[in-house]
Structures are given as structure tokens and as C-alpha cells.
Amino acid sequence: MSEQTRVADRSYAWGRLSAFGLAIAVVVCALDQGAKFWLLDIFDLGSRGRVPVAPFTDFVLIWNTGISYGLFPQQGLLGQWALLAFKVAAVAFLWIWLARAQSRLTAAALGLIIGGAVGNAIDRLHWPGVLDFMLWHAESPGFSFQWYVFNLADVAIVVGVAGLLGESLLGGRAAKAP
């Protein structure tokens, strides 16, 4: 291995798969933000209430002021900024991991997670919280179940984490964090 290759493998800012992961992150963030703006400004979800879109899926407007699944809701400005700072730190850590990624699956998974985290962080900058809008449910006369309301950024994060876990458990080389 040449000295240049070893230096590139240790870079904290850019690696051989960084452009690939960045492209995925940009696409995820753009799709997430585009869907949210469409639902608010064109579809006008806020005035429609709960809108059925499939037998087990509805659109509903929820402002999540906490973290995943609405945990630790923050109504005050200090709490909102603390959550935003935590997201910035998490994205920085994930970016370092991406810069050192050795497989396309790891880079893709990290790109999904970064894009989702940035999409949700953008929400906190210009809205009262993260806009969640998709509700999965199952209902019958004797049974009712509703999953947490989520958005496309959340889906990307979950798929990215599943990719990292799958590669770690089933792949030849584990996806190691820096």
C-alpha cells in the first residue's frame, strides 16, 4: 500500500466513497424536504386533518419537538437548539465514518442516515419541530394499532441503520465506526 493510499484511508474529511455517500445524502434530504413542502404548501395537509392514502396508511400533520418517536419533547428555545447541536455532532461523526468507509454498502447506509438527519435538522431551523406526516395503522372491530407518525427522513435513517447492521452481521467485513 502506498503512502498516499494510507493517508487517504486515515482522512477525516474525504475518502474514496465520500462522493457516493454525499450524493445519496443530498438526494434523501431533497426528497424529504420536497415531500414536506408539497404536503404543507400545495396539498395543504394542515387544513385537511387525517387523510387516508391506502387501507393502512394515512397522512396526518404532527410537529415532533423531541427526538425519535417524540421522546424528550422540547418546547423551549434552549432545548430545541440543544437537539440541533446534537444532530450536528452526530452528522459530523457519521461524516468521519463515511470518509473512512471501505464498502459501497457502508457509504450508502451512512449517506441515508446523514441525509435523513440533515433533513430533520432543517425542519428544526424553520418550523416549530420536525414535520412528521405518515401514519401506519391496522384496525378491525376488536383491534386497533397505530405506529408512530414518521417522515421520509426517518425511513432513510432506519434503512441506513439496517444496512449497517446487515453488513456487520452478514458481510465479510464489518462496517466499523472510526
Q: State whether residue 141 is helix, strand or coil.
A: coil
Helix axes 18-37, 104-126, angle to 10 degrees: 40
Determine contact, residues 81/153, Cβ cutoff 8 Å.
no
Catalytic residue among 32, 58, 123, 132: 132
Q: State whether residue 146 is helix, strand or coil.
A: strand
Helices (H), the chain: 3-9, 18-37, 45-48, 77-99, 104-126, 152-170
Catalytic residue check, 123: no
Supply the residues annotated as catalytic: 132, 154
